[in-house]
Every structure is written in C-alpha cells, then in structure tokens.
Amino acid sequence: MKKCVSISDIALKCGVFRATVGHILSGRNRYKFKPETVELVRRTAAELNYRPNAYASALRNQENRIILCIVGDVCRHSDMEHLKRLEYELGKRNYNLLIQFLVDLSDEMKLEFMKKTIALPAGIAIWSLGFKEKQSMEQFKEIFANAPPTLSMTEELPGTKIDYIKILWGSPTIPMAVEHFRQKGFHRIGCCCNDESELSDIFTTAARQSGLEVKNYAVSGDCHSYFSNGKEIALKLLAEKEIPEALYCISDEMVFSLVDALGKKGIRVPEDIYILGGGDSDFSRHYDPPIPVLIHDIDGLCRTAVENLVTRIEQGEVNSGSGRCVAEIGRTICEAV
C-alpha cells in the first residue's frame, strides 16, 4: 500500500521544522516566513502530492464537516463507484464522507446504530435502509424526526421529513428499453428479472403495445443473487427451440453471469443474442465487445445531493427536511464502443 505523504515528510525534504510546514500549508498568518521558504514548502507539497487530513483539520478547528452515508442493503460494484463520486463532490466543498455499512444486520441493530449516531454528523445521506419489517420504518421516522439535514439518494421514504432524489430505476425506463429494441429491428425479445419484480408485467405490456413478441424469464432469489441467477436464465434459454433476438436484464450483474453461461455453450453476444443491462456498472465497458446498459446521470445525482445537503447545513436548518423531491434523475442507454 502506498504511504500517505505527511507534513513530516515535507519538512524533512525541505530541511525545515514540521511546525513551519504546518503553518505555511494551513494558510495561517500567525508567523512570517521568507518568501523562498514558503515557495519551497508549497512546491514540495505539490510534488509529493500531499493531501491534508480533513478530519484532523475539522477537529482542530472545532468544525463538524462530516456527512454520514448509511448503506443498509446490498452494495454492488456500481454502488461503490457512485459513493466514490459522492465523496469527491463533498471533498470539493470541504466536507468529509463517512460511510457506514449496515448490510446483513437486523432491523433492531440498524435502528440502534442510528439512535447513537444521529447527532454526530453535520448531515446524512441515506443510500439504502434495507429494513425487513414494516414497523421498523415507523421507528425510523421517530428517530429521524429531529435529525440533521438528511437526504435519501436512492429511494423515497413516504411519511418522513427526509428529502429525496427520485431515481428512475425501474418502470419509467422500461418503454425506453423496448423502444431501443424496436429501433434496432428486433421482433422477439425477452425480460429477465427476479420473481418479486413487477417489471416483467410492465415490460410485457410495453412490448406488446409496440407490436413485439415478448417472453419473461423470471428467476428465483433477489438482488443478492444477481451474479449467479444469469446461469438460471441461460438454462431456460437453452431449453427452448428458438431463443429471443434480444434480452433486457434487470441488472448488469445478471448480464455478466448470463453472458458467461451462454458463451460456454457457444452462443455469442451480441452476434447470436443482443443483451441490454439494467445499468451503471463500469464492468460493461470492459467486455469485448462492450455490453450496452441503461445508465443514470450519477454525476448529477451526487452533485445535486451535495448542493442540497451543504446548502441546508450552512443555512442552519435544524431538522431533516420537508419530505420533498429535490430532483429526478433519469436514465439513458449507453452503447459503449
């Protein structure tokens, strides 16, 4: 692991005291230093790619510039990429992102964590909650009634005071996928999703309205098994006399396992079957050829979240919000080349 550059490293290379480097890089004007010393320290810091510890600075200045991000459900590769972008956007505003994963914990443990930490951060970004019991949401509402500015980034939270960004994950984008298939000249298409999803019915209706033949391939399990249930879909396809010309899969992870399983049987993508992924994974770009996916404006999502939270924090808001929709983030189809 690459060692982080410290103030001591810069001081050693410049031949000055550690305190001198600290004063110069902090911008404090308590002491006057020779211009050449200031120039040397700043140039050396840039050459060594020095990055100040924002957490330490906040503690030293008695400022709370921490945004807590709660991740309570399965976190996929694409989610991690999005969280990195959120951290980047917050960093530009001199705020620090503290991510807390509560995946696979009981509702009781999640709620207990929230009770203990709700007063810690300056603001909260909820990535997911993943509650298993309906009554947990009622307890959640009570806990967050007087929370600091809070924004839900991936889901609406009905009845709460928490503002949210509406991401058009599912049904609003289904007609887009169907129209994409129609424009490419496909007539026999399919939809792959898990048993609990309502998207298959929506997809079927949209496809038939466009004059296309459609078949659904529902698989057992939930989003935790997306990486494996593409194999189940492959078995169903291979059992048929004629496979569809194109498939829409609810997630990219499902696509990856499906492409792998079909490839082992000599079925090529996209030559033999065209597959469109549910979106947002960078993995899709590294396939040969790349896999087309539905993508969100993730930069817009994170930028909107940061602007909302920081504005509310700096305006001195004392509760979590009004429950309003801050913005809608739509999707587009990306056919990487």
Q: What is the pTM of this model?
A: 0.69
Q: Rounded distance, CA 329 to CA 307, Å?
A: 15
The tokens for 24 are 């110069």
Q: Identify the band that residue 59 occupies on the pLDDT scale cut at 50, 70 and 90.
A: very low
User: Which of 15-19, 80-84, 160-164 has the highest average model confidence (pLDDT)?
Assistant: 160-164
Confirm whether 337 is domain-assigned. Answer: no
Q: Are residues 145 and 69 in the same domain?
A: yes
Cα distances (angstroms) measured from residue 27 to each of 31, 51, 53, 228, 331: 10, 14, 15, 53, 43
Confirm whether 336 is domain-assigned. Answer: no
Confirm whether 106 is domain-assigned. Answer: yes
Cα distances (angstroms) measured from residue 335 to each of 37, 102, 129, 315: 53, 34, 32, 42
Q: For residue 286, which phi and psi values (nearest 5 degrees)?
A: -95, 0
Give the model's pLDDT for residue 29.
60
Q: Are residues 110 and 249 in the same domain?
A: no
Percent of the chain exceeding pLDDT 70 equals 88
pLDDT at residue 181 greater than cutoff 60:
yes
pLDDT at residue 69 greater than cutoff 90:
yes
pLDDT at residue 112 greater than cutoff 90:
yes
Q: What is the mean pLDDT of residues 239-244?
A: 88
Confirm whether 57 is domain-assigned. Answer: no
Q: Are residues 238 and 304 in the same domain?
A: no
Q: Are residues 199 and 288 in the same domain?
A: yes
Task: Considering only residues 223 and 266, tell me which one the structure prediction assigns the higher pLDDT.
Answer: 266
Q: Identify the band that residue 274 occupies on the pLDDT scale cut at 50, 70 and 90.
A: very high
Q: Are residues 133 and 246 in the same domain?
A: no
Give the model's pLDDT for residue 336.
59
247 has which bridge partners?
A: 190, 275
Q: What is the mean pLDDT of residues 41-51?
A: 88
Q: Are residues 283 and 320 in the same domain?
A: no
Q: Are residues 155 and 223 in the same domain?
A: no
Q: Rounded distance, CA 294 to CA 291, Å?
A: 10
Minimum mean pLDDT range among 72-76, 143-147, 157-161, 181-185 = 72-76
If one counts every other C-beta atom within 10 angstroms of the C-beta of residue 115, the result is 12
Give the model's pLDDT for residue 280.
67
Q: How many domains does the chain have?
A: 3
In one-letter notation, the amino acid at residue 246 is: A
Q: Vertex 195, ends 328 and 100: CA angle to 5°?
A: 50
Confirm whether 2 is domain-assigned. Answer: no
CATH number at residue 227: 3.40.50.2300
Q: Are residues 11 and 109 in the same domain?
A: no
Give the model's pLDDT for residue 326.
93
The whole domain housing 190 covers 171-295
Helix (H, G, I), strand (E, B) or coil at 121: coil
pLDDT at residue 2 greater than cutoff 70:
no
Give the model's pLDDT for residue 28.
63
pLDDT at residue 100 greater than cutoff 90:
yes
Q: Are residues 18 and 73 in the same domain?
A: no
CATH number at residue 14: 1.10.260
189 has which bridge partners?
A: 214, 246
Minimum mean pLDDT range among 95-104, 148-157, 221-230 = 221-230
Give the model's pLDDT for residue 1.
43
Confirm whether 47 is domain-assigned. Answer: yes
Q: Are residues 216 and 316 in the same domain?
A: no
Give the model's pLDDT for residue 57.
57
pLDDT one-digit tens code per residue, 297-334: 888 899 999 999 999 998 888 788 899 999 988 888 88
Confirm whether 181 is domain-assigned. Answer: yes
Q: Are residues 193 and 48 in the same domain?
A: no
Give the model's pLDDT for residue 40.
93
pLDDT at residue 136 greater than cutoff 90:
yes
Confirm whether 323 is domain-assigned. Answer: yes
Q: Are residues 105 and 22 in the same domain?
A: no
Q: For residue 73, which phi and psi values (nearest 5 degrees)?
A: -135, 180
